[in-house]
Amino acid sequence: MSSAPDATALDIDLWPKARFETDAITPLSILRRQAALLGEKTQHLVEADVSTFVDRNEAAHHFRLVVPALDNYKYDLFTVFHAIDQLYPVRGYYVGVSTNKMDDQSAFVQWLKEVLSSESTLKKIDSLLAQAKG
């Protein structure tokens, strides 16, 4: 005895009643916001962009300084890595030095604040600003 296919099986929603929405603030959204703020602070003479690449199971977010007046010159300032299936922990790579993992948003924001306000970063931005003003 064979059973005939049940067409109603196509109408059944087997997903749990869980919501697939989140209001999590991702590392990428934090980076994009800081990139936008740099442009505002420099009257867009020096801007920043964030590009993301996925390789196997890891996302890499590259934060670059961009100078429109210098043929859109780009300088790789730092990179942040995390597993594609989770937001934290993240690892940062800045000035040739890899950081230990940052286990949560608070640790990541603290690291990012240190990078963005470091003397090395500020000197780079000052130099690019001077050249953009030409």
pLDDT value for 35: 98
pLDDT value for 2: 58
CA dihedral angle for residue 125, residue 40, residue 106, residue 122, rounded to 10 degrees: 10
Is residue 111, in this structure, part of any structural domain at all?
yes
90-94/58-67 β-pairing: unpaired
Residues 6+ apart with CB under 8 A from 24: 87
User: pLDDT 10s per residue in the chain (134 long)?
Assistant: 556 677 677 888 888 877 777 778 999 999 999 999 999 999 999 999 999 999 999 999 999 999 999 999 999 999 999 999 999 999 999 987 778 899 999 999 999 999 999 999 999 999 999 999 98
When computed from its CA atoms, the radius of gyration of the chain, rounded to whole angstroms, is 21
What's the structural domain count of the chain?
A: 1
Is residue 58, in this structure, part of any structural domain at all?
yes
As a whole number of angstroms, the distance between CA 98 and CA 54 comes to 19
Is the four-CA dihedral 55, 81, 104, 46 of positive or negative sign? Answer: negative
Range of the domain at 84: 25-133
As a whole number of angstroms, the distance between CA 42 and CA 63 comes to 17
Residue 17 structure tokens: 């009643």
Is residue 12, in this structure, part of any structural domain at all?
no
Is residue 20, in this structure, part of any structural domain at all?
no
Is residue 10, in this structure, part of any structural domain at all?
no
Order of strands across the sheet that contains 73-83: 47-55, 58-67, 73-83, 90-94, 97-98
Is residue 15, in this structure, part of any structural domain at all?
no
Is residue 11, in this structure, part of any structural domain at all?
no
